[in-house]
């Protein structure tokens, strides 16, 4: 539900049903709300059956990439004699996204339960929940939940009396956006700089500590118990658009909008109604100008584009952007697009791990150009340079941070070129200082 706002009639609260209900946080409270039955059920099923069920449900990764979760799990080969690991990616850092934070704050046991089921399904005895260091409250709540689950015998050497070992540890991040990238997260967990790794090898072959590993997002794992309880058909049935995007999705809505918050809707929901009916439209006296619908890394949409979009993986692609993490950033007509694009590239420049040349140098360079433009020192040549440099930053690095930085630049200049031009021509006629050769 649109926490902190009250539930909207057109929402489908599956994950967010208990947001704001602090009694759901304890094991007892969670059990009263049907919790841990799915885990009990799962532990009595063959592993492959769980994997097949998740495959069948059509669940796709909610962290950004949208990879089918059941397929990912099927890459793990329990019984290969190696230790397997599950990592729950709770490093929610994509600007505009704050859904995992609410899931962990209100329904920590949904996460614990989902992690336990996934651990069992992939043959992992150890699960790490990697939570970003800034999430002090979720860290505390999740820590309490894990401790409680151990105390109740849900976790540990004999999880729920199954004779199976499921250990779960909270790992606190320390301030690095890139650690949300799965291979960077594995490095970080190992006590290294959070540098993304070259693939192959893929995590399912050689992941954290060199062992087969699966990494899933909080939202993905939290819905797993519900799919077990209610069945794949139930989950698949929740789709307004097409069978490749199933279930519900939590969208975090922020920026210049009347009712920012987390809204849970069925995949394929019309974006226009979402923005105006559920979220209340623009703030009084303003108009929407641009929407970044899937976190800072996805292409910017104009309002017109957004209004014709269906909210699912394919719908957002058709709308010239991506579902991403589901973090909807709304920018109204009082804002400078150049300034906001510069602010986004500054974010990526700050977060670049520094490994790949294009990213390390490119993110900082485009930021310098954009900030000079904002200060009145831009030229038309700069626009060409920005586009060309962005091209050089795209599709050429180990991870996609570099691409993510180029994305708002390219889509911003393409869709809001007039704002750049006004800024350039509006400047006082003076020669731009030329540094270097």
Partner 1 sequence: MAEPKQITLTIEGRQATVPEGTSMLEAAKTVGVLIPHYCYHPGLPVAGVCRMCLVEVEKAPKLAPACATAVAEGQVVHVHSEKAREARKGVLEFLLINHPLDCPICDQAGECELQDYTYQEGRNASRLRDAKRFNPVEDFGGDVVYVPNRCILCTRCVRFMDDVAHEPALNVSERGDRALVGKFEGKDLTHPWAGNVVELCPVGALLSKDHLNKARAWELDRAASICPNCTQGCNTIIETRDNVVVRMRPRANPDVNEYFMCDYGRLNYRWLNGPSRLDVPMIAGGGALVEAEWEPALRLAADTIRGRRIVALVSPSLSNEELFLLRRLIDRAGGTGVFRVRTGPEAPLDGVPDLALRADRAANVVGAELLGFSRSERPLDGLSSADVLLVADAAVGEEDAAAIDRVGAIVVLATTLSPALGRATVALPIANVAEAEGTFTNVRGRVQRFLQAKAAPGAARPGYFVISDLLDAIGGGGGFHLPAAVFDSLAAEHAEYRGLSYAALGLRGAMVTGAGQLAGGAEHRR
Partner 2 sequence: MGGLHAESHAPPGSAAHGHGEPYQPVFVGERRAQLEEVFGRYPTKMAALLPALWMVQDAHGWVSEAAMAEVSDVLDLTPAYVKGVVTFYTMYHQHPVGRHFIQVCTTSPCNVCGAEDVVKAFLKQTGCGELGVTSKDGRFTVIEVECLGACGFATPVMINDEFLESVTPDKVPQILAERR
Contact residues toward partner 2 (CB under 8 A) are 4, 83, 92-98, 101, 132-137, 167, 169, 171-177, 188-194, 209, 252-256, 260-262, 292, 296, 327, 329, 331-332, 335, 339-340, 343-344, 347, 350-351, 353
Element (DSSP H or E) covering residue 277: none
Residues forming beta bridges with residue 354, ordered by sequence position: none
Question: Within 243-272, which residues bind partner 1 (CB under 8 A)?
Answer: none
On whether the CB atoms of residues 89 and 218 are closer than 8 A, the answer is yes
The verdict on 93 binding partner 1 (CB under 8 A) reads: no
Q: Which is nearer to partner 1, 28 or 354 (CB)?
A: 354
Q: Which is nearer to partner 1, 229 or 392 (CB)?
A: 392
The verdict on 343 binding partner 1 (CB under 8 A) reads: no
Q: How far is the CB of 297 from partner 1 (least distance, A)?
A: 16
Q: How far is the CB of 409 from partner 2 (least distance, A)?
A: 13
The verdict on 184 binding partner 1 (CB under 8 A) reads: no
The verdict on 372 binding partner 1 (CB under 8 A) reads: yes
Q: How far is the CB of 417 from partner 1 (least distance, A)?
A: 19
Binding-site string for partner 1 from residue 383 to residue 402, where x marks contact by CB under 8 A and - marks none: --x---x-xxx-xxxx----
Burial (CB count within 10 angstroms: exposed 0-12, middle 13-18, buried 19+), residue 205: middle
The verdict on 417 binding partner 1 (CB under 8 A) reads: no
Q: Which is nearer to partner 1, 239 or 367 (CB)?
A: 367
The verdict on 435 binding partner 1 (CB under 8 A) reads: yes
**Residue 153: left (phi > 0), alpha (psi -120 to 50), or beta?**
left
Pick what 362 binds: partner 2, partner 1, none; C-beta below 5 to 8 Å, kind-dependent: partner 1
Residues forming beta bridges with residue 89, ordered by sequence position: 130, 217
From CA 312, how far away is CA 418, in angstroms rounded?
Answer: 30
The verdict on 202 binding partner 1 (CB under 8 A) reads: no
On whether the CB atoms of residues 405 and 362 are closer than 8 A, the answer is yes
From CA 266, how far away is CA 58, in angstroms rounded?
Answer: 13
From CA 176, how far away is CA 27, in angstroms rounded?
Answer: 32
Q: Which is nearer to partner 1, 264 or 382 (CB)?
A: 382
The verdict on 350 binding partner 1 (CB under 8 A) reads: yes
In degrees and rounded to multiples of 5, residue 156 shows phi and psi of 115, -165
From CA 23, how far away is CA 61, in angstroms rounded?
Answer: 28
Q: Which is nearer to partner 1, 267 or 424 (CB)?
A: 424
Helices (H), 152-270: 182-189, 218-230, 232-237
From CA 181, how far away is CA 316, in angstroms rounded?
Answer: 22
What count of residues does the chain have? 437
Question: In this structure, what DSSP letter does residue 160 have?
Answer: G
Q: Which is nearer to partner 1, 42 or 356 (CB)?
A: 356
Question: Within 304-333, which residues bind partner 1 (CB under 8 A)?
Answer: none
Q: How far is the CB of 202 from partner 1 (least distance, A)?
A: 14
Q: Which is nearer to partner 2, 5 or 33 (CB)?
A: 5
Q: How far is the CB of 132 from partner 1 (least distance, A)?
A: 16
From CA 224, how far away is CA 193, in angstroms rounded?
Answer: 31
Closest CA to 293 of 318, 272, 323, 264: 323
Q: How far is the CB of 362 from partner 1 (least distance, A)?
A: 6
From CA 215, how far away is CA 294, in angstroms rounded?
Answer: 20
Q: Which pair of tokens denotes residue 352?
A: 């670049």
Three-state DSSP class for 85?
A: strand
Pick what 25 binds: partner 1, partner 2, none; C-beta below 5 to 8 Å, kind-dependent: none
Pick what 256 binds: partner 1, partner 2, none; C-beta below 5 to 8 Å, kind-dependent: partner 2
Contact residues for partner 1 (CB under 8 A)? 176, 193, 198, 349-358, 360-365, 368-369, 372, 379, 381-382, 385, 389, 391-393, 395-398, 432-437
């Amino acid at each position: 539900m649109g926490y902190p706002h009250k539930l909207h009639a057109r929402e489908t609260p599956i994950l967010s049903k208990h947001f704001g209900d602090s009694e759901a946080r304890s094991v007892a409270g969670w059990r009263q709300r049907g919790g841990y039955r799915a885990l009990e059920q799962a532990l009595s099923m063959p592993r492959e059956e769980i994997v097949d069920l998740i495959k069948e449900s059509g669940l796709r990764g909610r962290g950004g990439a949208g990879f089918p979760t059941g397929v990912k799990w099927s890459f793990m080969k329990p019984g290969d004699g190696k230790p397997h690991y599950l990592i729950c990616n709770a490093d929610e850092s994509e600007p505009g996204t704050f859904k995992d934070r609410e899931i962990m704050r209100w329904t920590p046991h949904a996460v614990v339960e989902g992690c336990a089921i996934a651990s069992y399904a992939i043959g992992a005895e150890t699960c790490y929940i990697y939570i970003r260091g800034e999430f002090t409250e979720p860290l505390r709540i999740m820590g309490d939940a894990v401790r409680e689950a151990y105390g109740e015998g849900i976790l540990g050497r004999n999880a729920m009396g199954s004779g199976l070992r499921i250990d779960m540890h909270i790992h606190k991040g320390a301030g690095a956006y890139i650690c949300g990238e799965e291979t960077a997260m594995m490095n970080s967990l190992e006590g290294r700089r959070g540098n993304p790794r070259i693939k192959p090898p893929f995590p399912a072959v050689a992941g954290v500590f060199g062992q087969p590993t699966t990494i899933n997002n909080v939202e993905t794992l939290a819905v797993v118990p519900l799919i077990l309880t209610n069945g794949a058909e139930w989950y698949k049935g929740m789709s307004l658009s097409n069978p490749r995007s199933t279930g519900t999705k939590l969208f975090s809505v922020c920026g210049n909008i009347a009712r920012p918050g987390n809204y849970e809707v069925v995949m394929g929901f019309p974006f226009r109604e979402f923005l105006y009916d559920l979220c209340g439209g623009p703030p009084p006296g303003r108009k929407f100008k641009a929407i970044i619908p899937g976190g800072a890394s996805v292409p910017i949409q104009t309002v017109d584009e957004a209004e014709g979009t269906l909210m699912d993986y394919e719908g957002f692609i058709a709308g010239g952007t991506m579902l991403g993490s589901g973090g909807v950033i709304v920018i109204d007509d009082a804002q400078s697009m150049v300034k906001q694009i510069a602010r986004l590239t500054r974010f990526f420049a700050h977060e670049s791990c520094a490994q790949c040349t294009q990213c390390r140098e490119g993110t900082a360079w485009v930021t310098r150009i954009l900030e000079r433009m904002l200060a009145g020192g831009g030229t038309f040549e700069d626009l060409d340079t920005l586009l060309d440099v962005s091209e050089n930053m795209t599709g050429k690095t180990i991870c996609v941070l570099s691409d993510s930085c180029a994305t708002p630049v390219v889509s911003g200049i393409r869709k809001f070129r007039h704002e750049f031009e006004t800024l350039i021509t509006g400047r006082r006629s003076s020669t731009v200082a030329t540094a270097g050769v």
